Amino acid sequence: MTTPNNQQTDYISPTPTMTPAERQWQKLWQDIEDAGGRYQYIQQQMLQHGFMVERKPIDTMSPKERERYKKSLKKEAAEEKTLKKMAWQAYKAQHIVYLGRHIYWSDDTSIDKWDAKDASNRLIENKLPLISKHTQLASAVNLTVPQLKGLCYQREVATNIPYTHFTINKRNGTPRQIWSPIPRLKFVQHWILENILNNLMTHGAAHGFVRGKSIITNAAVHTNSTLLIKLDVKDFFPSVHWRRVKGVFRHAGYPEQIATLLALLCTESPRQMVQQNGKTYYVALSDRALPQGAPTSPALTNIVCVNLDRRLTGLADKMGLRYCRYADDLTFSLPANSNSTKNTVQPADHNQLIGQLLGSVHKVLREEGFNLNNDKTRVIRMGNQHTVTGMVVNGEGVPRVPRKIKRMLRASLHNLASDHLLRDGETLETLSGYAAWIASAEPELGQRYLKKIEALRDQGKLSEAKSHTKADVVA
């Protein structure tokens, strides 16, 4: 596992602190707006400072007068050029202007034909913040306009990006790339999640990262099954590109500019780190997409997958199956006991049912912009242990933690109580985590384990075990 890089990070709750130069440009832009615009401001300044030259015919001028007149005109032009440059810099400091290659941006906020009908009413109905200008968005997330632009700007090659990179190992041992936002961006993404995404519609089949749902509710759908089919979507987050994310915000009722900024704040290009002359460069490998590690990514996939979930639910119902999705894990099951005429599939016909299902799921996923990871397709038949998102769902009882986990936890706590050492790979955090996991499914049993851990901690057993693991003894 690689450790996060040493990029400069920012404080968790940002404040729109401006530099002296930014304050200067802000004041200048305010003066420009008070004057009625850049042209009016320039004309006003030219008159106030005496730079405006009265136009006269040069036919009646002497050579010396003509020379002085030309010099005054040149001075006027130079002063006007300086004022125009300053006005443009003030404009850029308070506006977005440009966000990088392949990112369309216009400061024109007038209504376009792609705006949602009754957009304001749609925002109000969904209890979403009414934001129509970039300055309103910057203020809502405690950023200055330059800070907002900096987080949204698309750089093909960068020496500094608003994400830290590290890897964690998957269950099969291969590394999973994690791009975690720096605290400033994470604050903004949490604001988007809490104020916008959590108020948008998701399908009932989605259980991952949905309020009131969990791995237990996901597993509970598939209790007492004769057949369990577990599928996995390949490259789930990277498959959701920033334009699809922008479509989510457009459909919610936000105008073009705000939807663009929100989409850029929630996405990042997959990057490769390149070392050259002792310097690290982050090179974009493809278009921006949802990063694994951003708090907004799971909620956005649930919203993007509403139509996918709707179609797969209809497919499952037609075939007499049950369906649910937890992030990129798709699960179908054939219930054991049902009076429905749909559920008359005999074990001998299971292979035909599986073939029809897989072919249809492949087709639906492709049409919805995803692909199936064939290497992770699992078919579990009657007589084997059925697990869904880590929970055992055999029989009609509630989902439960696998027996081997309970045995392992019970043995570890017994060893600690007997002054024995923790086994290799065990930590106090994992033991507490297992106990909390059991408590989420079987509260009475889980609470007993949690009380045992607390009792051992009070006796000082856990603090001793922390410094006397087997690994320490070997070292």
Phi, psi of 126 (to 5 degrees): -90, 5
Amino acid at 120: S
pLDDT of 473 > 80? The answer is no
DSSP labels for 131-168?
A: --SHHHHHHHTT--HHHHHHHH---SEES--SEEEEEE
pLDDT value, residue 227? 95
Q: How does DSSP assign 241-256, residue by residue?
A: BHHHHHHHHHHHT--H
- Per-residue pLDDT band for 1 (boundaries 50, 70, 90) equals very low
> What integer pLDDT is reported at residue 233 of this predicted model?
97
The DSSP code sequence of 311-333 is HHHHHHHHTT-EEEEETTEEEEE
Alpha-carbon gap, residue 28 to 199, rounded angstroms:
39
Angle 204-264-131 from CA coordinates, rounded to 5°: 75
So what's the pLDDT on residue 4? 41
Q: Quick one: pLDDT at residue 470?
A: 41
Res 462: pLDDT = 56
pLDDT digits (tens, 9 = 90+) for 37-58: 999 999 999 999 999 999 889 8
Average pLDDT value for the chain: 88
pLDDT at residue 463 in the model: 52
Percent of the chain at pLDDT above 70?
90
Lowest mean pLDDT among 161-165, 171-175, 218-222: 171-175
Helix (H, G, I), strand (E, B) or coil at 379: strand
From start to end of 207-254, where are the E strands?
225-234
pLDDT-derived band at 130, boundaries 50, 70, 90: very high
Between the CA of residue 63 and those of 59, 67, 69, what are the distances in Å? Answer: 10, 6, 10
- At residue 338 the predicted structure's pLDDT band, cuts being 50, 70 and 90, is low
Query: Which 3-state string (H, E, C) describes 389-446?
Result: CCEECCCCCCCECCHHHHHHHHHHHHHHHCCCCCCCCCCHHHHHHHHHHHHHHCHHHH
Structure confidence by residue, pLDDT tens digits, 379-428: 999 889 999 999 999 998 889 999 999 999 998 888 888 877 777 777 77
